Structures are given as structure tokens and as C-alpha cells.
Structure 1
């Protein structure tokens, strides 16, 4: 029996790799001779880089970069074995945890460090870059990232703007003449798990600005600045990204990448699945076991469980999800390919108890689930 184990992390208790180990132990108790392929998963946010590296699809490259406030930091990205592709996690250089030691500065925080990681990957020969966005500390539309790749953002007098989202309110033109040909020749894909547009009441500043310390007034200023930015991207020949679903992800970074470099946004989990080799791992599988902290109706909206279910269905493989909690309705997940979902709880439990005993409970639930399909 061949079993593929492809869970997300159980946040607050188990990493994706630890969840794989727990499921594998349970599966082997059910079928001692089973072949188990562990493929730790993520949805494109924090943790994606580690999943990619654990899949042995690439090596970590550590470089000097700028944190959201311009301070020096060491950050990693992954470069494939052949050097042709890279995975860059925005949180590594531009994430909120990097600025927890200082008061929030939502108006001036920037994504420059993420651009420096991408620039290094391109210099090393990568021509397919997956940018995993999530946990951003800035609302600059990805302007800092683009500046690190050679773009210049100019005011009406032709002077270059300082970093940060607030400065974009004075943006008059975008100069892309200094962008290297190698950057232009690179395919950029953006893994994101939100559908918010760039601007407006559901946009980057209005919805996510407060999480980064923006007051209502600052959020309104940032929204206006991002509107100016989107107008300038369109004037420079890019697509209109104002209302593009997902453009508001990571403080508008997705919108900036699409507008300036024609990046391809997509649900994070499916892109991660491709990057870590899940489709190939599913060849010849008899069962797929996935999971995350909670499975419910929202899991169908691009989460790991739904992505794994879709890939399993395409290959005619039954797919079972295990989670700390399971709540309906699950009809949409079943339609996507999920065979069944089970909670790991073995009786009434507090959340703290579930987290403390997550590995043992997950392993036990996996054993019982695999027994249903054993032959």
C-alpha cells in the first residue's frame, strides 16, 4: 500500500514536517509494510520555504538584506538544484516579526529586502521565481521590492521617492529603464491566499493596514497612495490592478508584481504543491492523508486541504483530512475531491489539551483512518 502524507502545519502545535511524522507513525501501525511518502505542505505564507527545502527540491541561500525599516538582516530563500528556479518567502526579509522590537511604522515600512532576495536569485540564474507572500509588515504595494529590482519611483520634480507606502501619494511616474534584462526575462508567480483587491474598502490598506499598526486615518492615506501607485502602473503600460482579486495581498505586493512585471497570482497551496513535488508523489498512491488545525467550509478557499483534494481527485486517489476540529458544511470540499474529514480529538478536550497532545492524537487518528482503506 502506498500512502502519501501531505498536511499543512497545525498552527500552535505541530509544523507540517512534525504532522507528517505523526501521520506516518500511525499509518505504519495500521499497515506495517506500507510505503509512505511524506510531503510537508503550506499555503504560500510563512513556513512555505521550509516545506520546499524539506522536499529536497532546493538548497537554502542566505544573503544580507534590509528589514521593513531598512535595518540589516540575514534572510534565506531557496534555489533549486539546477539553479533555474527559486522560492522567496516575503516574511523572511519583510515580515512583521522582524519589527516587533520597535513601535509600528506603517507609513514607511517597505518590502525592499524581499526584492533583494529576488535580485540575488536572478543574478544566480533563476528564471522562475515563486514569491510566497504573507505576514508582511508594510503597505507599500511592493514598491520597495520593485525598487530593489531596478525600478525608480519619481515625484513630479523627477526626484526619487523614499521607501514606504505613504510616499507613493507623491508618485508621478515609474522609470523601468534600469531593470536588468534578466529580471524582465524571469517568470514571476505569486502565491497568495486572499482575494482582496488593491484599493477600496476591502483593499490592502483598509483591511490589513490596522494589523500593521495603521490608524484609521493612516489607512485612508495609504489607500489613497496605493490608488496613485496603481494609476502609475497602468500609465507605465501595466495592467489595471486596482480591483484585481488578490492584488491587496501582503500590503499590495501582489498588485505591484502583477502591474510591473506581469506576475501570475494563484492560490498558494496549489503552487506550493507543484514546487514541492506533490503531483509526482501521488503517482501510484492508494491513499492521501492531509490535514490542518481546522477543517471547515472556508478550507475550500485555497487552503492546503482543498489543494491536496483536487490533486488527489485528478488521479482517482481517495483523500482523507485530519484536523484538530472539523465543522461543516463540507459539501464544497467533498466536491473538490475530499473523501472524508475526521477530528483528532478522542473526546471532550480543551484547545490547550489538543495542542499539547497533538502528535499522539494525530497519529492515533491516522492509524484508524488508514485501517479503513487497508487491503
Structure 2
């Protein structure tokens, strides 16, 4: 007996992976990484796939903020936030982000994903209830699963179902989780009324709201007058409108203090890298100084939606649902050949039967670029060669 493990293809304890890969390929759901080159070899194309809503990821002021932080603090945070991973820069970002969005306090995490994991699990646990919108982001879904709380999933945007779940609960503590952008503005206000009446906390993910909605891009919670309420908590990502990396939880000071003591994705994770922190802070200051950028994003989104004959968008994202994965992949490839890069979303990112193209509006597009994009989209919709 040599002690060597079997190497024959299709054998061994991981042989099931081959079966899964074949099934995904047959269903049109196999994914492959496509590294983005600095200069595309296939010619110039216009990017409508990335999440750089305000066009700040390459803004010289943001790059300078990242470079200055890199030179001052080094390449990495060097430890968790509770050890050596908190710098004066992190504190500046938290203070300014909370003030900008209208909350008492903020706590920066290494990503929007870990921010959602941290706040949901820390505010709930055994003996509590979570009511989750069916369309909540995957990070919120995973947080619910890890929380060990009882979870009730309600239909998307169904405020009455939330009310019924809260009314029937036996648990003392309850948390309602939803994405802030994704339903009508009035639903968020109504949802908060139900939470307040039933003694629940509302947690809204502002990933698509920050920098796009609300006065000066302060988010949908600020737009609806809910920012800063003592029973409202928000999460944001720094990787979309602010063009950097990381995430944050916003809310009462008691919430962030509790997270420092108990959020595992904060305590046991290395702090956000200084360069990303410096870039996010610089981007936030640009947004504060140039409050017209959010309206520009929504204008671009409206033009793109019009070219696709899609509904008027409520954020930077314009979805074009095509149904099955194959047609969506083919359409995205056809657009790229025409010089337009768009997102392609298939299950499990979206529900089965709703594979789609996702166009992301961006401030800073020139008139010529926007006209080009609209022309390609209109031609594809009408069947006229571009």
C-alpha cells in the first residue's frame, strides 16, 4: 500500500464536482473569470457593466487619496480593527460618512458583505425573529442563515406580510431586513411604520441608494426622512458609488458599540486596507462637494431605459430580463462585439427564468458615449443592424 490517493478522472471524494460542472454547462450556468485588461485587446468599448456609479474610481482626487493613505499607512491594515487595523483615517471616514448620511455613528467593515453579516448576526440570534424580503441581497440571506434566529421570508415589497409576521411573533426582538432601493419609495416609509408599531428594528441595505438617491446622494433613507431614526439601521458599500472597496453600518451609537463587541465579521477580519479607506474618504468628499452627480446618474439611467423600452429606473441599474441563461449570454457577447460591455446575470444571482442583462448608468459619460450606447441598445431592440 503506497498511501497515494487515486488520481483517475471521475474518482475520489471530489468526483461529484465533475457532475456539477457538466450540469451547469448544460444549463448555461457555467461561469469563467474574464480578467479585465488595462487596455482591451479587442478594441475600445464602453463599460456599462461595472458599479462605478459616479465615475469616481479613476477620479484623480480619489486616486490621490488612495496614494496618500498608502504612503502614510502602508499596503495593508496589518491586523483586525481591534488590534492594529484601525487608523485615524478609518475614524475620519466613519465620522464623515455618518454625518453625510444623517446617522449618529458609522462602523467600517472590509466589505459590504461582511457589514451585512456582522450587523444581522449581532442584532439577532436565538430567540429573535428576522423578517426578510424575498429579494434581499445574498449577503443578507446568508446573514439570516448564520444568525440562528427564526427567519420568515416574505414576498418582495409586501408590507402587509411583514406586518402579519411581526404580529404573530412570540420573540421579544425582531429585525426586518430589506434593500432600500428596489421598490417604491412609499413602501420603505410604510415598512418603517409597521416596524415602529410592532417594536421591530428596520435594517435597510443602501448599496444602491448611496450616491444615487436622496438629497445630494445621501441615500433613500435620507430621501424618505428615516435616516437617523432610533429604530433604523443602514448598511452601505464603498465599492459602488464611492468607487473604492469596503462597507459600513450606520445607526445609533449603541448599535456600532455593540458591533465592536460582538460582530464576528468585524472582530475576526483584517481591517479595510488604508488605500481603500483613503479612496472612499476622498470620493465621499467629492460627492459632498458636487451634489449634482446623483441626478446625472439617474438621467443616464433614464436614457438607457428608454433605449431598451424598460421601466423608468429607481437607481443606477437598468435590468433587461430575457428569461433563459443562453439568450442572455449571447446578447451580452453580441453587445461586446459592438463595443458595449453590459452585465449578464443568471441563476443563482437571479431567480430561474429571469436571466437578464444589467446596464449600469454612470455619471461622467459624454454626450457622444451616451448617444452611442443608446444607439446600440435601440438597434438591438428593434432588430436594426448597428
TM-score by length of 2: 0.26
